[in-house]
């Protein structure tokens, strides 16, 4: 029996900015407007999200919405992070990123922890929609705009500020303000407004950076409490965790480990390139999916 190992969490520069791009799980039916998926784009630092209903997950659709819904409004991102979906890693999408000077990165297979921020946001969307959709679930896309308004105007746990405050340096005017009122904005000259905005954003960003750093350290401490410290070197033999659902077989009884694989190269503290045989395709795998191979443990699969 093999247990998936967890290695201590590696902290990265919290000032690194980018977006996360991923698709919502396919629904059973189209909405009345013909949509099946949600394309979510999110800024790592400000936590500002966009959630765009789309009818399909074709590369051309995703690329067009990236330009229309994000780049046209907020400019070209420096880094674009996605899962391993074929649409995000296609020749067309790669060429678009190259043309716009975007560094394209992606998660490793079967390791959603490498993109926890958007995984949590995805769950938040689904939890919200489940409360408001109709019985036949064909109107979920009509509820997204007001959900986004609420999310963007609420203080984020990591930063301590609302995404709108982080992005615009001011709070959004909400429907409830019509009833309860809010202090009127004091008119100012363009120069005065810009100076005040710059000062406010500097203060907000400094506070948010510290909050994000503390949240990251707390998360790392929790994660590391159940982690192991095993590392591999080139030439080591390993088992690779690769669960597959086989028709007619119980997933609880099937063998989920394949091997032996050979460590070809260490790409980072947590990412390795492995290969089953000299002529086989090499794979880039997170260390949490690897465990030392011992010939006496189990016959090769």
Identify whether 226 is part of a domain. Answer: no
Residue 190 banded pLDDT, cuts 50, 70, 90? confident
Q: Which of these three, 183, 217, 248, is where a domain ends?
A: 183
Tens digit of each residue's pLDDT (9 = 90 or more) over 283-293: 998 888 888 98
Pair (88, 173) in one structural domain: yes
**274 sits in which H/E element:** strand 271-275
Residue 50 banded pLDDT, cuts 50, 70, 90? very high
What is the pLDDT at residue 249? Answer: 59
117 in Cβ contact with 163 (< 8 Å)? no
Pair (175, 276) in one structural domain: no
Q: Is the pTM of this model over 0.75?
A: no
Q: Which of these three, 151, 183, 215, is where a domain ends?
A: 183
**Would the pLDDT of 281 be above 50?**
yes
Tens digit of each residue's pLDDT (9 = 90 or more) over 2-21: 444 443 333 333 333 444 44
What is the pLDDT at residue 153? Answer: 94
What is the pLDDT at residue 96? Answer: 93
Pair (139, 264) in one structural domain: no
Distance CA 184, CA 200 (A): 18
Residue (of 24, 224, 18) closest to 105 by Cα position: 18
What is the pLDDT at residue 8? Answer: 38
The three-class DSSP label of residue 208 is helix
Answer with the residue of higher pLDDT: 85 or 159: 159
Pair (48, 155) in one structural domain: yes
Q: What CATH number corresponds to the domain at position 280?
A: 2.30.30.140
What is the pLDDT at residue 224? Answer: 53
Identify whether 168 is part of a domain. Answer: yes
Pair (177, 242) in one structural domain: no
For Cα atoms 114, 271, 117, give the angle at the middle one, nearest 5 degrees: 5
Q: Is the dihedral of CA 257, 272, 286, 217 positive or negative?
A: positive
**Would the pLDDT of 142 be above 90?**
yes
What is the pLDDT at residue 68? Answer: 95
Identify whether 17 is part of a domain. Answer: yes
Q: Do strands 49-54 and 37-43 pair parallel, antiparallel, or not at all (unpaired)?
A: antiparallel
Other Cβ atoms less than 10 A from the Cβ of 252: the count is 5
Tens digit of each residue's pLDDT (9 = 90 or more) over 21-49: 444 444 446 889 999 888 889 998 899 99
Distance CA 105, CA 268 (A): 14
Answer with the residue of higher pLDDT: 187 or 134: 134
Identify whether 219 is part of a domain. Answer: no
Pair (240, 142) in one structural domain: no
What is the pLDDT at residue 189? Answer: 77
Residue 69 banded pLDDT, cuts 50, 70, 90? very high
Pair (152, 91) in one structural domain: yes
Residue (of 55, 26, 47, 21) closest to 126 by Cα position: 26
Q: Which of these three, 183, 209, 227, is where a domain ends?
A: 183
Pair (278, 169) in one structural domain: no
Pair (128, 244) in one structural domain: no
Pair (16, 137) in one structural domain: yes
Pair (144, 275) in one structural domain: no
Q: How many domains does the chain have?
A: 2
Q: What CATH number corresponds to the domain at position 58?
A: 3.30.420.10
Q: What are phi and psi of 199, to 5 degrees?
A: -65, -40
CA 37 to the chain's CA centroid = 16
What is the pLDDT at residue 63? Answer: 92
Tens digit of each residue's pLDDT (9 = 90 or more) over 223-260: 554 455 568 999 999 998 887 766 665 555 567 888 89
Distance CA 289, CA 241 (A): 5
Question: Which of 79-83, 103-107, 153-157, 178-182 shows the highest mean pLDDT?
Answer: 153-157
Pair (163, 34) in one structural domain: yes
**Would the pLDDT of 60 be above 60?**
yes
Q: What are phi and psi of 40, to 5 degrees?
A: -110, 130
Domain with 286, as residue range(s), is 236-292
Q: What are phi and psi of 21, to 5 degrees?
A: -125, 125
What is the pLDDT at residue 18? Answer: 42
Give mean pLDDT, residues 266-283: 90
């Amino acid at each position: 029996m093999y247990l998936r190992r967890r290695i201590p969490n590696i902290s990265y520069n919290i000032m690194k900015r980018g977006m996360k791009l991923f698709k919502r799980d396919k629904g059973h039916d189209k909405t009345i407007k013909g949509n099946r998926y949600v394309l979510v784009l999110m800024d790592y630092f400000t936590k500002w999200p966009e959630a765009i209903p789309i009818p399909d997950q074709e590369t051309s659709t995703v690329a067009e919405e990236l330009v229309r819904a994000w780049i046209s409004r907020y400019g070209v991102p420096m880094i674009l992070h996605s899962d391993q979906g074929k649409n995000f890693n296609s020749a067309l999408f790669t060429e678009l990123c190259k043309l716009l000077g975007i560094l394209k990165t992606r998660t490793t297979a079967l390791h959603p922890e490498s993109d926890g921020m958007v995984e949590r946001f995805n769950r938040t969307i689904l939890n919200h929609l489940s409360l408001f959709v109709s019985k036949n679930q064909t109107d979920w896309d009509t509820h997204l705009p007001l959900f986004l308004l609420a999310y963007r105007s609420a203080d984020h746990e990591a930063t301590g500020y609302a995404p709108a405050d982080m992005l615009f340096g001011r709070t959004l005017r909400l429907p409830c303000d019509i009833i309860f009122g809010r202090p009127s904005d004091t008119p100012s000259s363009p120069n005065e407004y810009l100076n005040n905005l710059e000062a406010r954003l500097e203060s907000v960003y400094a506070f948010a950076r510290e909050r994000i750093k503390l949240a990251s350290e707390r998360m790392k401490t929790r994660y590391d409490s159940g982690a192991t410290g095993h590392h591999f070197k080139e030439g080591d033999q390993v088992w690779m965790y690769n669960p597959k659902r086989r028709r007619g077989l119980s997933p609880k009884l099937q063998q989920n480990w394949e091997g032996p694989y050979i460590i070809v190269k260490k790409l980072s503290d947590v990412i390795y390139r492995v290969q089953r045989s000299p002529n086989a395709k090499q794979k880039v795998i997170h260390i949490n999916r690897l465990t030392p191979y011992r010939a006496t443990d189990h016959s090769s699969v």
